Amino acid sequence: MSRLIVWRHGNTDWNATHRVQGQTDVALNAIGRQQAIDAAELLVTMRPDAIVSSDLHRAADTAAALAAHTGLAVGYDKRLRERYFGNWQGLTMAEVAELYPDQHYRWTHGQEVGGEVETLAELGARVSEGLLAAAALAPPGGTVVAVTHGAAARQGIGHLLEWPLEQLRTLRALQNCHWVELTHDRERGWQVAAYNVGPFSDRPVPPPV
């Protein structure tokens, strides 16, 4: 049985202020860097065989914390980037609601947003392709860690599992530096073994953007 760990990056100042990041390249803050170190100390016990990351710095620097424990080189895949949020990027969610009320309503209700925002279908297909490529790096029975982003993780996993959007919306957003553990074998295919696992389970959940 092979294992894929889908790991969200650590906290950023934009996470902390509920500002939409999307594909803007925002760095980890001091809290996020410590979260990455603490989470890496747990993930190293899973003995990963490979680490693949989004090329955005907040994900790449999170991956680097685990690489420092394992000695593994980090591979980078743009398909693991966060959802592209177009004109929303750089705005707080309060500003989005004020400037784009119709789009904000559709977003809060799990619908396609429209405008310049990447569709959920495109996001799911893109990220799941990246996750499958990462998983293929594992030897039989091995473990791969894929470092990505909140919205990207949820939609990519949902596409991989062939879940409808209604079912996917029942999952809470991943907390910063938390992960999903997926397993795969011939008989069962992909299954969720654990969700939202990490060292800071009592912290509030920043929006997955």
Summarize the annotated binding site for substrate as residue ranges. 8-15, 58
Binding site listing: 8-15, 58
104: annotated active-site residue: no
94: number of Cβ within 10 Å:
11
Q: Which residues contact 162 (CB under 8 A, 6 or more apart)?
A: none
186-194 long-range contacts (CB < 8 A, ≥24 apart) are: 190/160, 190/161, 192/157, 192/161, 193/3
- Partners of 146 in the β-ladder: 6, 52
Alpha carbons 81 and 58: distance in angstroms, whole number: 10
129: annotated active-site residue: no
Alpha carbons 193 and 17: distance in angstroms, whole number: 32
- Partners of 126 in the β-ladder: none
Q: Which residues contact 110 (CB under 8 A, 6 or more apart)?
A: 165, 166, 169
Catalytic pick among 9, 104, 159, 178: 9
Catalytic pick among 41, 57, 69, 82: 82
What residues are annotated to the active site? 9, 82
